[in-house]
Amino acid sequence: MEWTDEGTIIGLRAHGESAVILEVMTRDHGRHLGLVRGGRSHKAQPTLQPGNAVSLTWRARLDEHLGEYKVELMTSHAARLIAAPVALYGLGTLAGLLRLLPERDPHPGLYEGLALLVGHLDEPALAPALIVRFELAMLSDLGFGLDLTRCAATGSTDQLTHVSPKSGKAVSRPAAAPYLDRLLALPAFLAEGQGGRSPSAAEILAGFALTGFFLRRHIWEPRGLREPPERERLIELAGRNSESSTV
pLDDT digits 0-9 by tens, 171-217: 999 999 999 999 999 999 998 655 556 788 899 999 999 999 999 99
pLDDT band at 3 (very low <50, low <70, confident <90, very high): very high
Report yes or no: 183 and 163 within 8 Å, Cβ to Cβ.
yes
pLDDT tens readout for residues 39-68: 999 999 999 999 999 999 999 999 999 999
Which DSSP letter does residue 162 get?
Answer: E
68: Cβ–Cβ under 8 A, 6 or more apart, which residues? 34, 35, 36, 37, 58, 59, 60
Whether the per-residue pLDDT at 244 is higher than 80: the answer is no
User: What's the alpha-carbon Rg for the chain, to the nearest Å?
Assistant: 20
Domain boundaries, the chain: 2-76, 81-148+186-246
- Provide the whole-model pTM: 0.93
pLDDT band at 238 (very low <50, low <70, confident <90, very high): confident
Question: What is the fold, at CATH topology level, of the domain defined by 2-76?
Answer: OB fold (Dihydrolipoamide Acetyltransferase, E2P) (2.40.50)
Give the model's pLDDT for residue 241. Answer: 62
Report yes or no: 37 and 22 within 8 Å, Cβ to Cβ.
no
Q: Which helix or strand (DSSP H or E) is residue 163 part of?
A: strand 160-163
Q: Which helix or strand (DSSP H or E) is residue 89 part of?
A: helix 85-98
Mean pLDDT of the chain: 93
